[in-house]
Amino acid sequence: FIILMLHHFISFLLFSLLTTQLLGQNEVNTKKSPRELVRDAEGYINRQQFKPAKLALETVVEQKANFVVAYRLLGIVYTNLRTHIEAINAYEKLFELDPTLSRAAYYECAMAYMKNRRYDKALSYLNLYKNANPKDYKSDETNVQYRYNMYLDFEIQNCRFARDRKIASDFVHQNLGTSINSAADEYLPTLTGDSRWLIFTSNRMGENILMSKINKGGKWSAARSISKAINTPRNEGMAK
């Protein structure tokens, strides 16, 4: 009995220590210097802990309003928290303070403008990114720019399509819940003739065409691939 109690006590102690350690990783010491807080924020971002990163970086810019790198990181954090207007404001402040710090930031800001359906502004930044010489910028972001370059022309086409079709003003945008909407982009929705099936494009795991069926209660089933015969390891771009 004593051995069993001791085993439970040790298990509880280990669990408590682990919980305390994990909670400690998320705690932000706002009394640190701006430079230390930026280092902490970079660690949070690398661990995908965007809320404590947000607190750390917002503390930095409160203490030192012209801390350029903090705005660069805030743009990333706000984007991942899907607060795109705040992301735009952070990027614009970055460009105001130092327009040559990061070329990649112009692409990211363009994506935030697209999320807010400001397509002309998005296009201007996408073209700025496309025509800019990476050597003119201070940050070495070769890897991330390589990924952005792969999607650049595609995003420019998307932006032009949305602008020319006046998607922002002709449709009411409504979140259909987690069965349909995800952290990725969902677009080009089409209803079947009987309005029972929704077919759309998503880039949640590569660009593929997904489908969902509505039930009698008006709820959509979890989206699934339309067919292996249609979706391939390549990108399938349009559902209509």
pLDDT at 165: 73
Residue 220 buriedness (CB in 10 A; 0-12 / 13-18 / 19+): middle
User: In this model, does residue 10 exceed pLDDT 60?
Assistant: no
Phi and psi at residue 177, in whole multiples of 5°? 95, 175
**Residue 43 is which amino acid?**
G
Quick one: pLDDT at residue 23?
Answer: 43
Distance CA 192, CA 55 (A): 45
pLDDT of residue 100: 96
Confirm if 90 and 80 have CB atoms less than 8 A apart.
no
What does pTM read for this prediction?
Answer: 0.71
Per-residue pLDDT at 47 exceeds 60:
yes
Please give the structure tokens belonging to residue 90.
């952070």
Q: Is residue 18's pLDDT more than 60? A: no
pLDDT for 1 beyond 50: no
Q: How confident is the model at residue 50 (pLDDT cuts 50, 70, 90)?
A: very high
Helix (H) or strand (E) holding 142: helix 142-164
The mean predicted confidence, pLDDT, of the chain is 85
Distance in angstroms (rounded) separating the CA atoms of residues 126 and 135: 17
Q: What is the mean pLDDT of residues 52-78?
A: 95
